[in-house]
Structure 1
Amino acid sequence: MMGSTATRRMLSSAGVATLLAIVFACGANAEGATRGRGTGVVTVHQDTIGPAAPPGAPASQFPAPRREVADIVAPRWTAEDTRDDAGEFGTVAKIAGIREGQRVADIGAGDGYYVARLAPLVGATGTVYGQDIVPEYLGLLQRRVRDDGLTNVRVVLGEPHDPRLPARGVDVALMIHMYHEIAQPFALLWNLASAMRPGGTLVILDLERPTYAHGTPPSLLRCELAAVGYRERSFTRTGPDEYVAVFVAPDSAQRPAPSDISAALQARRCRA
């Protein structure tokens, strides 16, 4: 997803070496992480793939971001025990206000760290959508869902520009350590709005660092989301260079048209 210059800069960091080690431990690899993009949904007891929602607006209608896009290199950010010890999930769930009965989408779910913890939190009356664009990662997620008996989880395969989630079917969408990997942010955010219920929120956990270094500067994040009509609700620093930002999604009937987004970004670019 990213050019060779940015890739070389990433490979020079110790953090990516750690991520790559996780990939091999999970039976995936960086080459596999960029293969195959498609659409569909797999439920807990199904082996076939079918669409979760009709296609949204095509990527060609939207401008590309004016920043580098980080490679997808692993199905998880870091070791689960480390995240548990830091209280990551509990912190995010509290800020997001996730509760029983809600429909929550984990976009870029990987092998399911959040999905496994969201399922009991939303309960039998809620639904968790574990969504990703890498089929290999969703294979790991599907196996976890089956092994853990998570009957309120749907595993969804989306596209880089379209999450392919059910229309008005999501109360809260999560993007955990992955916003910087979105190659088509304006298209993805626009299509995501179609899946959000009125007043639905998008919760983003990321690091305050350049996108090529697997983070997103807050000013860049705010600019890109505002261009599509998302309104910031809160911004919480959860670590020295970590934050959780919550945005209210625009109503799908009131969001800017793709042509208006392009025109606005020509006048005021979002820069890293």
Structure 2
Amino acid sequence: MLPGLVLLTSACTQPPAESTAASLAEQRRRMPPDTTGYESRPPADPNGISRYYLGRQIAHVMGHEGADWLERNGRQEEEGTDILLRELKLKPTDVVADLGAGTGYFSFRISPLVPQGRVLAVDIQPEMITSLKQNKERRQITNVEPVLGTVQNPNLTARSVDLVLIVDAYHEFDHPREMMRAVRAALTPTGRLALVEYRAEDSRVPIKRIHKMSLEQARKEMAAVGLEFIENVETLPQQHLMFFRRAK
């Protein structure tokens, strides 16, 4: 070998494919288990994304272009929205967060039920916030406050909310773990979460499977962020009405 000459042949040699695969498998085996509950894999349902949470495929978000569907004729009869509002058992002084408020369908119906309280109408789409503000001005309602959130945080003050209402929106959250941790932090010590989702257990409910949730799955996901199940009220025509609170 000539002085100063360094052979690089061995350093550039690629190991056999089998060796590389075995090495990666060993690395994965030694990694600590994933505690976030998230998984990325090809979507089983084209109506969902390639992101899964605790085994559940997350659905695509309904954009602001579908706002008319939220205000559709017949929604009250289809979903029993008047029954839902009654089952919330709100007090006049309650602070309520309507998470995924959209155009404010529920926010403006809750408003007169909490005359000494407030309704925080939370949405992550600026277009929906614009719609909320326009509807608020048109209706001349003063106790509804539009709040722009993010996919990970509803931007609610800690321990300030008596009830968080999420209607047919949770299954579309891109970051359910982070969002619900923030929801838990926003609840007062006696605060409640009312989670409303179409019943996956009932094949007669005319909604795509990915836009439904079972009681079992909902309880598992809420427990993962420290929310304790209280009860499931089955008085709505097509949906679960599930109540949770901060775990002790």
Q: Same fold (TM over 0.5)?
A: yes
Q: Compare the two structures and name the one with the higher helix fraction.
A: 1
Question: 2:214 matched to 1:217?
Answer: yes
What whole-Å deviation, never above 9, does each CA across 1:240-268 have from its counterpart, x for those lacking one? 64210011124xxx6xxxxxxxxxxxxxx
Say which one has the larger Rg: 2
Q: Select the residue among 193, 198, 218 that pairs with 1:202.
A: 193
The equivalent of 2:144 in structure 1 is 153
- Counterpart code for 1:222: R
Matched-pair contact (CA < 8 Å) for 1:233–1:246 = yes
SS at match of 2:82: helix
The equivalent of 2:108 in structure 1 is 116
The equivalent of 2:60 in structure 1 is 71
What whole-Å deviation, never above 9, does each CA across 1:102-132 have from its counterpart, x for those lacking one? 1000000000100110111101x11000001
Superposed displacement of residue 198, structure 1? 0.8
Superposed displacement of residue 228, structure 1? 1.4
- Counterpart code for 1:232: F
What whole-Å deviation, never above 9, does each CA across 1:142-186 have from its counterpart, x for those lacking one? 110111111111100111111111122100000001111112112
The equivalent of 1:178 in structure 2 is 169
Q: How many residues align?
A: 197
Question: 2:106 matched to 1:132?
Answer: no
CA distance in 1 between partners of 2:142 and 2:166 (Å): 22
What whole-Å deviation, never above 9, does each CA across 1:176-230 have from its counterpart, x for those lacking one? 0111111211211111122111110000111123986311121110001011111
The equivalent of 1:8 in structure 2 is 46
Q: Compare the two structures and name the one with the higher strand fraction.
A: 2
The equivalent of 2:155 in structure 1 is 164
- Counterpart code for 1:67: R
Structure 2 length-normalised TM: 0.71
Aligned CA distance change for structure 1 residues 116 and 240 (closer, same or farther; 3 Å):
closer
The equivalent of 1:107 in structure 2 is 99
Gaps of 5+ in 1: 11-62, 255-272
CA distance in 1 between partners of 2:41 and 2:140 (Å): 40
Matched-pair contact (CA < 8 Å) for 1:65–1:183 = no
Aligned CA distance change for structure 1 residues 198 and 76 (closer, same or farther; 3 Å):
farther
Q: Select the residue among 77, 82, 106 that pairs with 1:90.
A: 82
CA distance in 1 between partners of 2:44 and 2:137 (Å): 38
Structure 1 length-normalised TM: 0.65
